[in-house]
């Protein structure tokens, strides 16, 4: 499919419009580009008139009803800073199939342009007097490269109305080839006498609405040079995402590193009673940070240690609470030895503001009372009789049960970083997939679709 027409002559300011009388039907024909147009089609009967002859000779008589045009002849509108008037209309096709419409625009200072309508999409075509460089494959003009899309086509005129700068006639055909880049098509038309080039640029809805028409909301499959509606968003989205990810990495680097604030070893009472210890001062320097508390009980076996924490701000007495329990169990059964749990336990407190704090730790050691073990009401440890429940075991075996508490400063949870990446990445991936679907469908219509695959197979 091609949008081109023979190259227009250089234009100088035009005199006012001239009114002619159609020799076929007697209707008044308004000549809007008098002195430049060669032929004009009567808008009432469709007859083609030769306006170079003072007597307005009838070239072709085609008695048919006036076409219902989306943009009536004589319509004026401003497009890209210039006022244009619709002076001619062509309906063209690929040998009767895949039809499209072309409206000839005229401005006495800017010359001619084409409004091309195809399946609800609109383009602005400008005839070129220079040919692009490159003889095969991609070509280049004005520094822009174009990829081949259609080759060896044939465009014919099916209907003509209005006035034109060359002798156009119904049934006229030209050979066509098309190259595209996003938003632009470069078309070559050739007949026995000349070769002409037209550059057609995609128009968005706001531009074409100036002529009183509304483009289709969705064109599927896409037109050869139709830009992806997701391309601009995707381009901006990747830039924003890259900036956001960079910011996250910097934040994780600056604020996410751990720093040890305290390390203290406490003694667990053998009697199974609860004990309280205070660790401090603990200074938090960042505006907000995560505080990690790690407890380790090296001698723990078949029991657990309850851990209650209160991080208390010395100035305001505001406290942040957390709970944990270190548990470790092991034994042997018919399947062999087994173990579960851990001798350590980590807990975190999020978004703690800067300040000086004390960590109050309440802790209690416990042993597991195995129901399969021999029952006894007391257990003697170094001559001291202790109750069977809650004492003995690992607490008795250890010379002095120890609880090591370490406090670390952090700022960001790694999980939050992952969530942030997902929030950034999921929309981008979704739009990228839609963009890929659009581009795949657009390229699949090309006469050169799949040629890369064929070359790879060779």
195 occurs within a structural domain: yes
Query: How many structural domains comprise the chain?
Result: 3
Report the DSSP beta bridge partners of residue 195: 190
6 occurs within a structural domain: no
Note the helical H segments in 90-198.
none
Do residue 209 and residue 321 come from a single domain?
no
Contact between 174 and 1 under an 8 Å Cβ cutoff? The reply is no
Q: What does the alpha-carbon distance between residue 370 and residue 372 come to, in Å, rounded to a whole number?
A: 5
Q: Which domain holds residue 152?
A: 18-227
Contact between 328 and 342 under an 8 Å Cβ cutoff? The reply is yes
pLDDT along the chain (458 residues), means of 10: 52 61 76 81 78 70 59 94 95 94 96 96 95 85 94 94 89 95 96 94 94 91 95 91 87 72 94 94 90 95 95 96 95 89 94 94 87 43 41 71 92 71 92 95 90 46
Do residue 290 and residue 437 come from a single domain?
no
Q: What does the alpha-carbon distance between residue 89 and residue 81 come to, in Å, rounded to a whole number?
A: 22
Q: What does the alpha-carbon distance between residue 309 and residue 328 come to, in Å, rounded to a whole number?
A: 20
1 occurs within a structural domain: no
Instruction: Look at residue 46 in the predicted model and tell me its pLDDT.
Output: 74
Which structure tokens are listed for 300?
Answer: 């723990």
Do residue 168 and residue 221 come from a single domain?
yes
Q: Which of 393, 411, 429 is the last residue of a domain?
A: 411
263 occurs within a structural domain: yes
CA angle 92, 94, 95 (to 5 degrees): 95
Contact between 51 and 39 under an 8 Å Cβ cutoff? The reply is yes
Q: Which residues contact 443 (CB under 8 A, 6 or more apart)?
A: 449
Instruction: Look at residue 119 in the predicted model and tell me its pLDDT.
Output: 95
State the DSSP string of 264-295.
EEEEPPTT---EEEEEEEEEEEEEEEEEEEEE
Per-residue DSSP letter, 63: -
Contact between 262 and 406 under an 8 Å Cβ cutoff? The reply is yes
Per DSSP bridges, beta strands 57-60 and 402-410 are unpaired
5 occurs within a structural domain: no
Using left for φ > 0, alpha for ψ between -120 and 50, and beta otherwise, residue 147 falls in beta
184 occurs within a structural domain: yes
Per DSSP bridges, beta strands 378-381 and 344-367 are unpaired
219-258 residue pLDDT tens? 999 999 999 999 989 999 999 999 998 888 887 766 666 7
Q: What does the alpha-carbon distance between residue 274 and residue 308 come to, in Å, rounded to a whole number?
A: 11
Per-residue DSSP letter, 299: T
Instruction: Look at residue 37 in the predicted model and tell me its pLDDT.
Output: 83
* Residue owning tokens 């969705």: 218
Q: What does the alpha-carbon distance between residue 211 and residue 78 come to, in Å, rounded to a whole number?
A: 8
* Residue owning tokens 């086509």: 153
Do residue 156 and residue 103 come from a single domain?
yes
Contact between 15 and 34 under an 8 Å Cβ cutoff? The reply is yes
Stretch (H or E) spanning 429: helix 414-444
Do residue 407 and residue 428 come from a single domain?
no
Q: What does the alpha-carbon distance between residue 455 and residue 458 come to, in Å, rounded to a whole number?
A: 5
Q: What does the alpha-carbon distance between residue 218 and residue 49 come to, in Å, rounded to a whole number?
A: 39
Note the helical H segments in 166-255.
205-208, 231-255
CATH number of the domain within which 345 lies: 2.60.120
Instruction: Look at residue 385 in the predicted model and tell me its pLDDT.
Output: 40
298 occurs within a structural domain: yes
Which structure tokens are listed for 255?
Answer: 């604020």
* Residue owning tokens 């807990």: 347
Do residue 249 and residue 263 come from a single domain?
no
Do residue 387 and residue 293 come from a single domain?
yes
Do residue 293 and residue 248 come from a single domain?
no
Do residue 164 and residue 219 come from a single domain?
yes
Instruction: Look at residue 386 in the predicted model and tell me its pLDDT.
Output: 39
The radius of gyration computed from the CA coordinates of the chain, to the nearest angstrom, equals: 42
Do residue 401 and residue 438 come from a single domain?
no
Of 1, 251, 208, give the one whose Cα is nearest residue 105. 208
Instruction: Look at residue 86 in the predicted model and tell me its pLDDT.
Output: 96
Burial (CB count within 10 angstroms: exposed 0-12, middle 13-18, buried 19+), residue 68: exposed
Do residue 263 and residue 252 come from a single domain?
no
Do residue 149 and residue 196 come from a single domain?
yes
Instruction: Look at residue 411 in the predicted model and tell me its pLDDT.
Output: 56
431 occurs within a structural domain: yes
Instruction: Look at residue 63 in the predicted model and tell me its pLDDT.
Output: 43
Q: What does the alpha-carbon distance between residue 277 and residue 20 come to, in Å, rounded to a whole number?
A: 108
């Amino acid at each position: 499919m091609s949008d081109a027409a023979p190259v227009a002559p250089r234009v100088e300011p035009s005199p006012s419009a001239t009114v002619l009388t159609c020799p076929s039907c007697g209707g008044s024909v308004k000549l809007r580009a008098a002195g430049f147009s060669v032929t004009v089609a009567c808008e009432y009967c469709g007859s083609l008139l030769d306006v170079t002859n003072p007597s307005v000779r009838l070239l072709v008589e085609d008695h048919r009803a006036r076409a219902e045009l989306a943009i009536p002849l004589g319509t004026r509108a401003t497009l890209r800073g210039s006022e244009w008037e619709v002076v001619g209309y062509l309906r063209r096709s690929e040998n009767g199939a895949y039809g499209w419409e072309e409206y000839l625009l005229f401005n006495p200072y800017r010359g001619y342009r084409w409004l091309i309508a195809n399946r609800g999409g609109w383009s602005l075509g400008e005839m070129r007097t220079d040919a692009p460089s490159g003889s095969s494959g991609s070509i280049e003009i004005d520094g822009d490269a174009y990829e081949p899309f259609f080759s060896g086509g044939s465009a014919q005129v099916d209907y003509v109305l209005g006035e034109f700068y060359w002798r156009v006639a119904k049934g006229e055909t030209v050979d066509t080839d098309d190259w595209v880049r996003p938003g632009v098509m470069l078309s070559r038309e050739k007949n026995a006498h000349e070769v002409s080039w037209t550059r057609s640029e995609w128009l968005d809805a706001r531009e074409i609405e100036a002529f009183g028409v509304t483009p289709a909301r969705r064109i599927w499959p896409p037109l050869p040079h139709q830009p992806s509606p997701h391309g601009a968003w995707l381009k901006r989205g990747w830039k924003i995402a890259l900036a956001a990810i960079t910011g996250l990495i910097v934040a994780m680097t600056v604020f996410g590193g751990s720093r040890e604030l305290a390390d203290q070893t406490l003694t667990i009472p053998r009697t199974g009673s609860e004990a309280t210890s205070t660790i401090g001062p603990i200074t938090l320097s960042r505006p907000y940070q995560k505080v990690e508390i790690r407890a380790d009980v090296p001698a723990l076996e078949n029991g657990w240690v309850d851990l209650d924490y209160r991080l208390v701000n010395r100035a305001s007495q505001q406290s942040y609470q957390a709970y944990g329990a270190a548990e470790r169990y092991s034994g042997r059964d018919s399947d062999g030895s087994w173990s579960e749990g851990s001798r350590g336990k980590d807990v975190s407190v999020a978004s703690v503001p800067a300040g000086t704090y004390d960590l109050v730790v309440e802790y209690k050691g416990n042993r597991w009372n195995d129901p399969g073990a021999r029952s006894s009401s007391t257990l003697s440890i170094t001559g001291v009789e202790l109750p069977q429940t809650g004492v003995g075991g690992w607490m008795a075996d250890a010379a002095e049960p120890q609880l090591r508490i370490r406090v670390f400063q952090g700022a960001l949870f790694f999980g939050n970083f992952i969530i942030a990446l997902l929030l950034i990445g999921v929309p981008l991936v979704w739009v990228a997939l839609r963009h890929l679907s659009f581009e795949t469908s657009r390229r699949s219509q090309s006469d050169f679709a799949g040629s890369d695959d064929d070359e790879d197979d060779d």
